[in-house]
Structures are given as structure tokens and as C-alpha cells.
Structure 1
């Protein structure tokens, strides 16, 4: 958070860029993150757009079997649209033992499979 008495131009630019976006964490192995980045390049999309599309698919899949995060996974941060985050929170209300990081992880797996 920027802590100044008066807003600066730089601070205003940062606020405009961040508006409507949030960051969430999931855990991926090195090979999973490499495959995800490669997939975004080959599909000519950003990581954010690819993740958003796959999150939507995962939440609309009535027969999904959620996979657990691998033991050797490392913490990774992803940018998510504010609207999608609200949809995720509503989706997770009815899910037992599924968290945001597991939901994001399964969306990444869908993208790289």
C-alpha cells in the first residue's frame, strides 16, 4: 500500500492498473508452471486470460474430480479478475475441503492437459 499524504501521479497509475484485479496463490511444481507458461505462448494468450478461461471451465464442470496439490509444489502467484474471484467464492460455498488454491491448481492442470 502506498503511504503518502497526497496522491502522486505514480500512485494513481498503479491504482488504475490494479483496479478490478486481485492476486491469489496456488502451488505448482516447476514442470507444471513451465507447461502453463508454454501453453499461454502457444495459445497466444496471457497467463491471466488462460487461467480465467480454465477457472470458468472447472467451475462449470459437474463431474470434476479435484486433484490435490503435489508435495514438491512451490508457491506461485496469479492475477485473477475481481468478478471471477467473486464467482469462485460462491462456487466454493458448496464444496467441501476445496479451497481457492486447489481450484486454481485444477484450472492450471486443465490448461496444461
Structure 2
């Protein structure tokens, strides 16, 4: 499984769909951040990611335009393109939250 920084992975949990942004990828460790809760970070491996039911939602990075600025400013990486750029393949702008593309697991098992 080939994982890159900026991709978005999602997982269906009981009643809701949670999405994670890939922050860092090293040889064996992948660091994920919850899109809805930026303070929620965890590390896993690519094998555990796929075996735990996480699915790649988007290869286009999600840029939150309404994120609060940190109190201490750090040299942040600038996006490689304008967040309002519309990606016709993803059918959304970079600043828009990707729509979950998951079959309803609860009805598929019936």
C-alpha cells in the first residue's frame, strides 16, 4: 500500500464516518490526524491501516480555510496550489471537505 502525505483516509464506525489526514510517512510509521479534531493524532503502520478497515478517500490534500491560527506562529508549509482550486477529478475544491465514498456496511451485510 503506497501512502503519501496529504492523503485522506476514512473509517466507518458505529453511526458515523471519521476521516483522517496523513501528516507524516516514514519507512514503517504513518502519522494520522483526525480532520474534525486536529489535536487527535496517532501513529500506525500501512499494514495495520488497511487491515483495520481504513479506506483512502482522497489523494488531494484537504486544506481547512477556517482553521484557527496558532498562538505561536511557525513557518508553515504553504500549499502548492490555491485552496480554492477546483479539482474536477475529485469534484471539489481543496478547501471543501471530501464526501465519504463508503458503502453502507450495515446494509451490505444483510
- What's the TM-score bracket when you normalise by the shorter of the two chains? under 0.3
**What TM-score results when the alignment is normalised by the length of structure 1?**
0.23
- Higher helix residue share: 1
**What TM-score results when the alignment is normalised by the length of structure 2?**
0.23
